[in-house]
C-alpha cells in the first residue's frame, strides 16, 4: 500500500503520476487533479482540458486569456 500525497490515505490501489519529471502518489483521480492539474492564470480554476495557451501562461478559456491582456485569444476562428 502507498500513501496519497494529497490526502494522506494509505490505499492498496494507489497509483503514481509523473509530470515534468515530478512523480506523486494518489489514491484517486480527484486527489491527482487537485495536486497536478494546471490552474488558469486569470481565475485560478483547475484546467481539465487543453486550455488556452498564450505566451508563457495557460488559461481555462479565451475569455480569461483576453481578460489577462491576450487580446488575440479566441474560442472560434
The number of domains in the chain is 2
Total number of residues shown for the chain? 77
What range does the domain containing 3 cover?
Answer: 1-36
Answer yes or no: do 44 and 75 share one domain: yes
Both 5 and 22 in one domain: the answer is yes
- The predicted model scores a pTM of 0.80
Residues 62 and 30 in one domain: no
Give yes or no: residues 32 and 48 share one domain: no
Q: What is the pLDDT of residue 70?
A: 93
What are the backbone angles phi and psi of residue 69, rounded to the nearest 5°?
A: 100, 5
Q: Do 45 and 74 lie in a common domain?
A: yes
The reported pLDDT for the residue numbered 74 is 85
Give me the pLDDT at residue 1, please. 81
Same domain, 4 and 26: yes
Backbone angles phi, psi at 70, to 5 degrees: -95, 80
Task: Give the residue ranges of the chain where pLDDT is below 50.
Answer: none
Amino acid at each position: 500500500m502507498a500513501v496519497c500525497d494529497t490526502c494522506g490515505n494509505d490505499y492498496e490501489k494507489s497509483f503514481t503520476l509523473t509530470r515534468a519529471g515530478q512523480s506523486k502518489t494518489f489514491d484517486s483521480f480527484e486527489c491527482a487533479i487537485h495536486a497536478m492539474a494546471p490552474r488558469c492564470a486569470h481565475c485560478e480554476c483547475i484546467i481539465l482540458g487543453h486550455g488556452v495557451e498564450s505566451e508563457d501562461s495557460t488559461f481555462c478559456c479565451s475569455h480569461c486569456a483576453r481578460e489577462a491582456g491576450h487580446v488575440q485569444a479566441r474560442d472560434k476562428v
